Amino acid sequence: MNIKLVVVGKVKEKYFRDGISEYEKRLSRFCKFKIVQVSDEKAPESLSEAEMDEVKQKEGERILSKIGDKEFVFALAILGKQFSSEEFAAKIKDLTTYGHSDITFVIGGSLGLSDAVMKRANDTISFGRFTLPHQLMRLVFCEQIYRAFMINNGSPYHK
């Protein structure tokens, strides 16, 4: 099984990088896990709606260039579906049971995901209506992927 996390921008803080690296290492016993970073589009603080769309479109093109035709894609979006950890684990298990060995998760830039990326996504995930820094979201999501594998393996880690 291949799990890929396509993300916009770099993780700047060492403590986030260290946490993410720890989950990458832990996940290696369950799957081939990789994080693919695409560069974020430089933009001033105040943008018009059209400028925001242009930034998302450019980042979206970079994201889509990293996704293959056969990959099952989840877009992380505020308005996406909310799953409990158990439901998320079951979703991953079901996908692999029914022939989806390449699963990709997409975390967009600070402005979100382009319409093209949302159209390419097979499903969505939301961590609620909170706005979280993308670096923190990356760490939290890596932990949730690890937790899903631990649940599916009957590990006490989840308790």
Binding residues for S-adenosyl-L-methionine: 76, 108
Work out the number of other CB atoms within 10 angstroms of the CB of residue 34.
12
Helix count and strand count (H, E) for the chain? 5, 5
Report the binding-site residues. Answer: 76, 108
Give the DSSP H or E segment for 29: none
Is 63 within 8 Å of 115 (Cβ atoms)? no
For residue 15, the cross-strand partners are none
